[in-house]
Chain A
């Protein structure tokens, strides 16, 4: 007898969710980091709305990228050390599917909270109302890309012991297009032009990444447990 693909995916996701719920600091730390950056900026550059409002989207996105790097090392670390990763590759179900499950949980606990926090961050940085929806939209379609690319890097470096610095070097360049399009979209919304093209482009990128990343993560896991 064998678990159906759906059953195995559910079990993998459930396990990750339960584990993270017992270690809440892993979820809260990156979010607190974003909140801290966002609250410190007005103190540092002055509370004038003209400067703050202009840089708000950029600050929030940079904080989001860096917070993604913060927790990235831990994504597969425990699973690698306790043998869970090894057993995952031996499951009869396709490994990319199970890898997708892990990515999905990562997004649920790091990307989605950011989207929810975004209006608060926008408020703290006095982002003009015109840019709010664009900020939320770019975070909603952009954070899955963050989770997917982080998962690829984390799976590749998990067997290296202290791969943290290498991982950041590996991931940051890949985040740059995301940063450019996302802040471009908010900028466009602020000056009153169409932000849709950038948001749709990001959505397309997001779909493409979600489609291909599970295979890259699966291949990386196989290399790492070897």
Chain B
């Protein structure tokens, strides 16, 4: 079982407050890592720090430590989705999905099929700005269906989704994990995960962050 991510001695301070310190964990293929914590504990900061969107004060983040060819170009093999959906409100759902696929390097995406999967058929030619927050989120989430990245880092993926959407996402997660991928996510939803490799990290916002 290969290691997809290895983190050691990670520390972050924001505005003079230590969010987490000496954080260490590894994510192996088949893992689902749930990062918990109250609002403002530093969950998003941690995820953003992993992909380099926030500068690290201390510690190292190593993607794919055992696979050099992946490690060299980790950005192509890690999918990060933040709070912001990165959906263009002027463009239609179908145009958004096509552009996301093109940027992801996937050429033969069946956009209609994808939109049907996430339940946006009938709304595909409306500007995304006219859709609800949850529907916009669904446009962004289509990336999960065509992406070939083994590691997903998702910040609050369930935000604004209805129960059907959450159910859909759970199924997709299970599929990804069964295929040897791994997921790191933050969520305030209680995750009822059946798999054995379900891990939790709780960030308390104090110096004693850890398992």
State the main secondary structure of chain A at its contact with B. helix
Contact of B91 among A12, A19, A92 (CB under 8 A): A19
Contacts of A86 in B (CB 8 A): 53, 82, 84, 86
Contacts of B148 in A (CB 8 A): 1
> What is the size, in residues, of chain A's interface with B at 8 Å between Cβ atoms?
28
B82 touching A19 by the CB < 8 A rule? no
Cβ-based interface call for B119 (8 A)? no
State the main secondary structure of chain B at its contact with A. loop
CB distance from B110 to the nearest CB of A (A): 16
Contacts of B127 in A (CB 8 A): 22
Cβ-based interface call for B167 (8 A)? no
Cβ-based interface call for B133 (8 A)? no
B73 touching A81 by the CB < 8 A rule? no
Residue of B nearest to A87 (CB): B86
Cβ-based interface call for A18 (8 A)? yes
CB distance from A137 to the nearest CB of B (A): 35
Question: Contacts A1-B105, A84-B86 hold; do A92 and B53 have CB atoms under 8 A apart?
Answer: no
Contact of B54 among A10, A91, A226 (CB under 8 A): A226
Cβ-based interface call for B75 (8 A)? yes
Contact of B102 among A7, A89, A226 (CB under 8 A): A7
Cβ-based interface call for B55 (8 A)? yes
Residue of A nearest to B54 (CB): A226
Cβ-based interface call for B88 (8 A)? yes
Cβ-based interface call for B188 (8 A)? no
Contact of B99 among A15, A81, A89, A226 (CB under 8 A): A15
Contacts of A82 in B (CB 8 A): 84-89
| CB pairs A–B below 8 angstroms (6 shown) | A2-B76, A2-B105, A11-B102, A22-B91, A84-B88, A226-B54
Given contacts A8-B105, A14-B99, list 12 more A-B pairs with CB under 8 A.
A1-B76, A3-B103, A7-B105, A8-B103, A11-B99, A12-B103, A15-B99, A19-B91, A22-B90, A22-B127, A82-B89, A83-B85
- B-binding residues in A (CB < 8 A): 1-4, 7-8, 10-12, 14-15, 18-19, 22-23, 78, 81-84, 86-87, 89-92, 225-226
